[in-house]
């Protein structure tokens, strides 16, 4: 029988809590030091270790049956995947922020300005809904440094503790999306996660 496969982030902020969540369901498995596909020792389940951005695609096409990913990634990719449940950890917000001394004081002031972001799709939807026209500067990370480097006038990025904004003298203008970790599943297979985790975590210890 084909093993059930669960995709987790291989490194980063989601990883530790994702591992904890699966272990709380009784699954025993080594971490990804031992390769990018590890087997549970007490269940017919494999853990696939991926970049978080790639998790929705693996689940969509059925290479993984389940995945744990930030809701921000799902929405940005407009993957339309089935969210089985919100997991209550890795909470963060997608925020538009500007330098403390910026003359941008409200959303309307963003008209015609440059906004650096790793979330162009979510930002674009938000700006459109407010009828604001701005230039998107797409970056894959370290977004908070862009205004200091004169690359942009504002940023749109994730905020968890708020430390990165603080260090770079940025002030929040608006939260545009609230996110947390979610469990997703392939919609064609439509497996029940709890049944899979419970039913299979029975092989020895
Ligand atoms: C994330 C995010 C923010 C920061 C927010 O970046 O993009 O920059 O964490 O966290 P904080 O509010 O607790 O400071 P990450 O460290 O994942 O690196 P990246 O910018 O390269 O994506
Ligand atoms: Zn960042």
Tell me which residue of 169, 187, 56 sits closest to 121, measured CA to CA: 56
Q: What is the pLDDT of residues 54-84, one digit of tens each?
A: 999 999 999 999 999 999 999 999 988 989 9
Q: How confident is the model at residue 191 (pLDDT cuts 50, 70, 90)?
A: confident
Reported pTM: 0.92
Q: Ligand 1 mean position to 143 CA, how many Å?
A: 8
Percent of the chain past pLDDT 70, that is, above it, reads 96
- Name the nearest CA neighbour of 69 among 114, 4, 13: 13
Of 93, 141, 168, 172, which is best to mutate to test ligand 1, by the most ligand atoms within 8 angstroms of its C-beta? 141
| 205 Cα to the center of ligand 2, angstroms | 40
**pLDDT bucket at 150, cuts 50 / 70 / 90:** very high
Ligand 1-lining residues (CB < 6 angstroms) = 141-144, 157-164
The reported pLDDT for the residue numbered 198 is 82
């Amino acid at each position: 029988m084909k093993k059930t496969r669960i995709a987790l982030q291989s490194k980063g902020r989601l990883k530790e809590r994702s591992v904890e969540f699966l272990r709380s369901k009784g699954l025993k498995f080594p971490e990804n030091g031992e390769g990018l596909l590890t087997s549970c020792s007490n269940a017919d389940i494999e853990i696939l270790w991926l970049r978080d951005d790639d998790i929705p695609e693996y689940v969509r096409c059925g290479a993984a049956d389940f995945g744990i990913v930030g809701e921000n990634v799902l929405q940005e990719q407009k993957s339309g995947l089935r969210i089985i449940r919100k997991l209550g950890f890795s909470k963060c917000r997608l925020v538009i922020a500007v330098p403390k001394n910026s003359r941008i004081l409200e959303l309307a002031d963003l008209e015609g300005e440059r906004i650096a972001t790793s979330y162009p799709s979510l930002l674009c939807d938000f700006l459109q809904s407010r009828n604001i026209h701005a230039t998107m500067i797409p970056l894959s990370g370290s977004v908070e440094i862009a205004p200091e480097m004169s690359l942009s006038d504002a940023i749109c990025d994730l905020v968890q503790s708020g430390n990165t904004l603080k260090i770079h003298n940025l002030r929040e203008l608006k939260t545009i999306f609230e996110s947390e970790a979610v469990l997703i599943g392939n919609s064609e297979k439509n497996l029940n996660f709890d049944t899979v985790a419970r039913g299979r975590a029975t092989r020895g210890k």
